[in-house]
Amino acid sequence: MKIVAAVARPREPFALAECELAEPGPRELRVKVEACGLCRTDLSAKDHDYGTPLPAVLGHEGVGRVEALGDEVDGFAIGQRVLMSFGACGRCGECRQRMPAYCARAMDFNVFGRRPDGTGPITLEGQAITGHFFGQSSFASHAVVSTTNLVPLADDLPPTLMCGLACGVQTGVGAALNVLRVEPRDVLVVAGCGTVGLSAVMGAVIAGCASIIAIDRSDARLEVARSLGATRVINNRGLDRDALKRQLRQLGPTRAVDSTGAPEVIEAVFAALRRRGVLALAGLSRARTRISIDANRLMSSGRVIRGTVEGDADPRVFIPQMIAWYRRGQLPLEALVTSYPFVQINRAAEALDRGRAIKPVLFMD
């Protein structure tokens, strides 16, 4: 069928174009997209040599309604609203252990945007383009979606607020609760107050953490962090690594999550941790970024530094839990979201890139 999609080319604006979408294959659905979040991962895939073959249809935080079922699909029905999370095979050892973010084929499905057989469902002017990004490619009017990490959504849930649960919010809340396992007695540092960082703040509040320190270069974002439960904020604009480390050491952090991907921030936060403190890296760095850690201090302090993808979450389990928190008022997603019509995708991307919007969400007509 013919669809309208936002086609990404390197360091160019997104271009709306008419494309052809193939029928869903085994364990796939066709979804009429209602809304899709815009994430820095999308911009990195387009502009920063992230490895995604271009041209591509990006978008990986989609919400929509099922229009068609492929073979071997169970548990979903035409007309049902669904949330589309990241791609995974559902069969490898990591997937069987409910760690689908570390799927053996995660790069194929998510970064390279390929089906298991190496193909994609989208063509442009008769040529195949990348069209299965994160198992969905939801910057489009319609998407062919893998069912592996598809989550049913109730009709009363606002689609524009739900989009971030697929990736950015899931990553931040999961980093706080699944990875760091924050407790009330912890002193948590959250570096970067975008969607991931602010979601980590919300997750820490859910855990009852009494001391949450938010770091960012934007006073406006720090105010959002404070409104969501941060007990202290630090504007690190103009602070070098040592100055930031000194400020943080006085506060005695036991846990930290970084969403900046900036080596100087990562190094400062790690050096400020108490003994046996843990730092989770949840932000995408530029290609070939390196950090410097003193090996002897790492050994003698018992500190831990580790990465996390998607907050170590199984979307089919964790997204329903986040929805329950949202319904109870514990996950105020409206504080993060700014909505844009799909035709304004470049305006939304600019707002995200320049820090004017925390979580831009595109809504389709």
Q: What is the pLDDT of residues 189-214, one digit of tens each?
A: 999 999 999 999 999 999 999 999 99
pLDDT of residue 319: 98
pLDDT over 80 at 306, yes or no: yes
Q: How many angstroms separate the CA atoms of 352 and 345, rounded?
A: 11
pLDDT over 90 at 92, yes or no: yes
pLDDT over 80 at 40, yes or no: yes
Amino acid at 361: V
pLDDT band at 364 (very low <50, low <70, confident <90, very high): very high
pLDDT of residue 286: 83
pLDDT band at 350 (very low <50, low <70, confident <90, very high): very high
pLDDT band at 230 (very low <50, low <70, confident <90, very high): very high
Instruction: Kindly report, as residue ranges, where domains of CATH 3.40.50.720 are found in the chain.
Output: 169-309
**In the predicted model, what is the mean pLDDT of residues 261-283?**
96
Amino acid at 102: Y
How much is the pTM? 0.96
pLDDT of residue 284: 87
State phi, psi for 307 to the nearest 5 degrees.
-95, 165
**In the predicted model, what is the mean pLDDT of residues 318-322?**
98
Q: How many angstroms separate the CA atoms of 63 and 85, rounded?
A: 9
Tell me if 304 sits within 8 A of 278, measured CB to CB. yes
pLDDT of residue 67: 97
Q: Computed over its alpha carbons, how large is the radius of gyration of the chain? A: 20
Per-residue H/E/C for 131-143:
CCHHHCCCCECEE
pLDDT over 90 at 365, yes or no: no
Q: To which H or E segment does residue 211 belong?
A: strand 211-216
Neighbours of 335 (CB within 10 A): 14
Query: In sequence order, what are the residues at sequence separation of 6 or more whose Cβ sits closer than 8 angstroms to the Cβ of residue 121?
Result: 21, 22, 24, 25, 115, 131, 132, 144
pLDDT band at 99 (very low <50, low <70, confident <90, very high): very high
Tell me if 292 sits within 8 A of 226, measured CB to CB. no
For 141-194, what is each residue's pLDDT tens digit?
999 999 998 999 999 999 999 999 999 999 999 999 999 999 999 999 999 999
Q: To which H or E segment does residue 169 belong?
A: helix 168-174
Question: What rounded mean pLDDT belongs to the chain?
Answer: 96
Amino acid at 229: G
Instruction: Kindly report, as residue ranges, where domains of CATH 3.90.180.10 are found in the chain.
Output: 2-166+332-363
**In the predicted model, what is the mean pLDDT of residues 264-283?**
96
Amino acid at 110: N
pLDDT of residue 287: 80
Superfamily of domain 169-309: NAD(P)-binding Rossmann-like Domain (3.40.50.720)
CA dihedral 332, 39, 260, 317 (to 10 degrees): 60
Which residue from 347, 342, 351 is spatially nearest to 35, judged by alpha carbons? Answer: 342
Residue 263 in tokens: 């080596």
pLDDT band at 311 (very low <50, low <70, confident <90, very high): very high
Burial of 337 (0-12, 13-18, 19+ CB in 10 A): buried
What architecture does CATH give domain 2-166+332-363?
Alpha-Beta Complex (3.90)
